[in-house]
Each structure stands twice: as C-alpha cells, then as structure tokens.
Amino acid sequence: MRHTLLAATLALAFSGAAFAHEPGNFIVRAGAMHIAPDVDSSKIRLNGVDHSGSKAEVPSTTSLLNLTGTWIFAPHLGLELMLGGPVSYDIKIKGVSSGNIANGSLATVTQQPITASLQFFFLNPKSRFQPYVGVGLNYTSFYDERFKRRQKRLGFRRLELEDSVGWALQAGMDIALTDRLYLNAAAWKIDIDTKAKGKGHWGWGGNEQRVKFDMEIDPWMYFVGVGYKF
C-alpha cells in the first residue's frame, strides 16, 4: 500500500497533466519571509575615535507579507521580481568603552528589499514539481531611522543609513497543487552593505556627538508561500 501511494505521488509530481511553467505564464506568489542576517561590521567610531573590539549587530526578523512575480519568457527561463515586506528592527552595538554612547540598542531602522533575478528551471516545463535557481541584483532602502531614547539623552538626534545595491543568489521550488495554484519555498543569499552615520549635540550648544560604522548585513532570506498562475 505504501509503495502504491509513493508511486502515485511521484506520478502526479512529474506528470504532464498540469502545464506548470509554459512560456508566457506569469506566477504571483505571496507568503512569509524569515530574514537571518550574517553581519560583519566595522569598529564603532565615536567622535573620530575607533573603539577596539566594538561592533554592530542586527537580529533576525520575520516579515509576514512578501510578494514575488515570475514571468516565464522561454522554456526553463524566467524573470522574477521579489518585493520583500518592510521590516523594522533594532541595531545593537557592543564593546564601546565610552560614556558618550550606550552599548545595547542604538536605533530602530526599517528596511525594504527589492530583488530582480534571472531564474533557471531544471525540469520539463510540464512537470508539477519545478526546482529552480536564480541570480540577480538587490536594492535595499533604509528609512525611518530613529535613535533609542537613552541614546537621545546622550545627545544623538539624526541617524542615516545608506541604501544598498548588491548581488543576490536564489534557490527554490514550485509544487503544483492544481493547474493554477502552487506551493512555493525559496531561499536567497543577499549582499547588503550600508554605512551608518549619526550625530547630535550634548546639551544646549554643547559639543557635537558623532557615531559612524559600516555593516555588511548579508542575510539569508527564507520564503514559504502560495502562488497563482495567470
């Protein structure tokens, strides 16, 4: 019985009953994305002085609404645009040996990634199971940067993070549930580099406070969702 069920499942997955990825098809997917940064940062520079052993950190986070769209323009080939949902998180710093800034949560930042990829689908376009790989470019914007309250008490007021442009690698799979409905799982490795600059003044008319550091965020991004073929 188990062998019969396995054979039936494999036959369904690889049969040509559903024309899964034909040229001219457009597939829209929606789902959740888990973002796991692989951060490498420079030392924290405070008022022109690098602090040995200091660094910045970014925690993992999850975005519940993310969209991708793939246009199949030739057998085995597609163009995808991924619009990640905006996510907000705390940037944390550690190892700064100065009373002019507080270790721990530095600021809250919102980021918005957009990725365009060329995809290659390995199997027959009529297969219900479609594994693929992709390569492309990512643009990530940063906005709504806000210092934490305790950093503001130390004189910091304005923070800016530079937007990032970098490469993107992808692997994923579509599984046809019906002729038009799909289950999708995908993973990206994204190159995201930014420079953070913050400043302010300590007290009324006091000395300028400046903080600066670079971050290679380079996250792994994991997506699970459903797709619909037009």
* CATH number of the domain that residue 128 is part of: 2.40.160.20
Q: What is the pTM of this model?
A: 0.86
Domain containing 44 equals: 18-225
Inter-residue contact 215 to 27 (CB < 8 Å): no
> Does residue 10 belong to any structural domain of this protein?
no
Contacts of 213 (CB under 8 A, 6+ apart): 41, 42, 43, 44, 45, 55, 56, 93, 195, 196
Q: Which of 17-31, 144-158, 172-186 has the lowest mean pLDDT?
A: 17-31
> Does residue 7 belong to any structural domain of this protein?
no
Q: How confident is the model at residue 115 (pLDDT cuts 50, 70, 90)?
A: very high
> Does residue 13 belong to any structural domain of this protein?
no
> Does residue 5 belong to any structural domain of this protein?
no
Instruction: Please report the pLDDT score of residue 1 as a whole number.
Output: 53
Q: What's the domain count of the chain?
A: 1
> Does residue 4 belong to any structural domain of this protein?
no
Q: What is the mean pLDDT of residues 45-54?
A: 92
Q: What is the mean pLDDT of residues 154-169?
A: 94
Residue 215 burial class via C-beta count within 10 angstroms: exposed 0-12, middle 13-18, buried 19 and up: buried
- Supply the DSSP symbol for 199: E
CA distance 31 to 12: 24
Q: How confident is the model at residue 61 (pLDDT cuts 50, 70, 90)?
A: very high
CA distance 119 to 136: 9
> Does residue 128 belong to any structural domain of this protein?
yes
